Amino acid sequence: MANTAALNGINGLRGIRRSPASHLAAALESGSIQGKVVLSEGPFQTMAGVRVDPRTEEGSRIAAVAGSLPARCGEVGGGNGVSVLWLGPSEFLVVAPENAHDSLGGNLIGSLVEALDNAPGQVVDLSANRTTFELTGPRARAVLEKGCALDLHPRSFTPGTALNTEVGNIPVVLQKTGDESFRLFPRASFAEFLGRWLLDAMREFASPEVP
């Protein structure tokens, strides 16, 4: 009975939550240009900030929970639906589907805390700290290049790469998920500004291309 009540409470919370860019949903849909570039806000994610030395025993335990820890800048570790993004030699962002979140019935955060086991390091639930924008299509790279200093050419920024950078002067973690697809992780407070910046950068591709 108690579990049923808890589950009902969780489902109720799901119904009233609003993502940081939910009020832009209509603008994101109307501003996307099918066949060229599409912008959407991704689904809720479980996110955890992890600080641990990967060379230690606790680092090995964290890696076992998350799938793996990336060894160098730009690498993405993880496994089984979990992505681990490299932020520094001992700092990582763990990203997983919403149902991995403790308060929603999953156990990822709790498992990471348990793996750390009071050793030097930190596990912080950042699920409400950032949102996710997904930018896809053959013009996605051109849109990002208007406000990102990284070399985004496919020979340098390959699928499976994630880096800290700025897009439109907004700090983000930028992940390349496919040949023509990117995920941007801005802090929630910057969601509206970045969403509108991306829409403005996309606008030129709504016009017919001149032969």
pLDDT, tens digit (0-9, with 9 covering 90-100), for 166-185? 999 999 999 999 999 999 99
* Strand, coil or helix: 126: coil
Domain boundaries, the chain: 22-42+131-206, 43-128
pLDDT of the residue at 102: 65
Give mean pLDDT, residues 102-131. 88
Query: Which of 134, 109, 115, 122 shows the shortest CA–CA distance to 46?
Result: 109
Its pTM stands at 0.86
Q: Is the pLDDT of residue 137 over 90?
A: yes
Query: Which of 150, 140, 136 shows the shortest CA–CA distance to 201?
Result: 140
Question: Percent of the chain scored above 90 by pLDDT?
Answer: 78
Give mean pLDDT, residues 153-163. 95
pLDDT, tens digit (0-9, with 9 covering 90-100), for 21-62? 999 999 999 999 999 999 999 988 999 999 999 999 999 999
Higher pLDDT, 187 or 106: 187
Fold for the domain defined by 22-42+131-206: Gyrase A; domain 2 (3.30.1360)
pLDDT of the residue at 210: 59
Task: Give me the architecture of the 43-128 domain, per CATH.
Answer: 2-Layer Sandwich (3.30)
Matching fold, domains 22-42+131-206 and 43-128:
no
Average pLDDT, the chain: 89
Q: Is the pLDDT of residue 2 over 50?
A: no
Query: What burial class does residue 185 get, using C-beta atoms within 10 Å of its C-beta: 0-12 exposed, 13-18 middle, 19+ buried?
Result: buried
Higher pLDDT, 18 or 57: 57
